[in-house]
Structure formats: C-alpha cells, structure tokens
Amino acid sequence: MRLAIRCARQAVRAGGVVAVVDTQNNFYPPAAVQLGLAVEQLLIIRTRRPAEAFWAVDQALRCSAVAAVLAYLPHLERARARRLQLSAETGGGLGLLLQPATDLRPSFAGIRMQIEPVAADGSVASGLTDHAGRPLRPQHLITLLTVREGMPVEPFVICLNDETDSGALPSRSVGRPAEASPRRIA
C-alpha cells in the first residue's frame, strides 16, 4: 500500500485527486498524509459489495479529474479487468489495483508486479544510504510480471526510507529465496 500511495502522490503533482476505493474499510487517511498526500487530494469511497467497488473504480478511472485510483479488487474477472483498462485510457489517470499474490489470472495491466517483503536484518543490502547518509533498509522485493511497453526485468529489491521519502536500489546482487540470484536494474 505504501508503494501505491507513493505512486499516486506522483500522479497528483500535475493536479487532480486520488480516489481510494476502500473495500475493506481499513484505509487510514493520516498514514496517506504522512506519506505526502494532502487531505484535499483524497477522495475516499467506502463500498460494501464487490459490484459497488467495481463500479466506483470504473467511474473514477473514467473521470479526467482523478489522477489516480487506488483499490483492492481480489478475484477480478478478465472482462472486468479489460473494462478497467479501457476506463483508465479514457480518463487518463493511473489505476493502482491491489490483488492477492495468489490471483494469477491474466491481466490487461500495463505493468503488473508482485511485491514481497524482504528481511530487514541488513544482510541483503547493508551499507546503503540515502543522499544525506542515513541508512536505508531493504523492504520490498519487486518482481515485474508484465511490462506491456518493454522487456520484463528480473526481480530487484527497492530500499525505502519513509522518514526522508527517499529510496535506492542496491548496487550488488540480491538473492531471492529458493531461486537463482537475479540482476537488478539501475
């Protein structure tokens, strides 16, 4: 969710709002504000049924005043996923749809990624610092599953510092449990 909020924050820099379709009634606006979104930039839509959530996401993606839509939509059927892709193209905003890692159905997303936590014991990328010399700890292993406009890359670790809102990619190889050591992108 933190990475999605950061992406949404970038999308609203040119104007518009972030529509959060809160299907689980657990979105906490003060946390989004702490990550850099202004309260005035948030439109929170709470839904009770999956059909309502889908409709809200679809309408928000079609709206040109919405810079980004953030929603958790588990078990999204293929036809509905295609409809949301077309809605995003119509409105021009960014759709950030979160799904469980177990949902391996085909997607129409321009970029589809799997995000996994990384042990924060410092062993993966110790010694990384931000621009001010403060230590960064690896937090997420990102695997790009689909990249519509380009070549997929191998998994990489991104290190974030929420206090300074900075990030870095490790400059050396990181291992993924039970898999070969991947390359990183810079």
pLDDT of residue 184: 35
Instruction: Using DSSP bridges, classify how beta strands 137-147 and 111-117 pair: parallel, antiparallel or unpaired.
Output: antiparallel
Identity at 69, one-letter amino acid code? V
| Rounded percentage of the chain residues whose pLDDT exceeds 70 | 64
Mean model confidence pLDDT for the chain:
76
Distance CA 95, CA 60 (A): 9
pLDDT at 100: 78
Phi, psi of 143, deg, nearest 5 = -115, 120
Domain ranges of the chain: 1-105, 110-186
CATH-assigned architecture of domain 1-105: 3-Layer(aba) Sandwich (3.40)
pLDDT-derived band at 98, boundaries 50, 70, 90: confident
Check residue 74 and give left, alpha or beta (phi > 0: left; psi -120 to 50: alpha): beta
Q: What is the pTM of this model?
A: 0.72
Residue 165's Cβ-side half-sphere holds a number of Cα atoms within 13 Å equal to: 11
Q: How do residues 25-77 score in pLDDT, each as one tens digit?
A: 999 999 999 888 999 999 999 998 999 999 999 999 999 999 999 999 888 88
Highest average pLDDT, of 73-82, 130-139, 146-155, comes from 73-82
Q: How far apart are CA 123 and CA 142, in angstroms?
A: 17
Q: What is the pLDDT of residue 168?
A: 54
Q: Lowest-pLDDT range, 7-11, 81-85, 99-103?
A: 99-103
Average pLDDT over residues 83-91: 93
List the beta bridge partners of residue 2: none
pLDDT of residue 125: 44
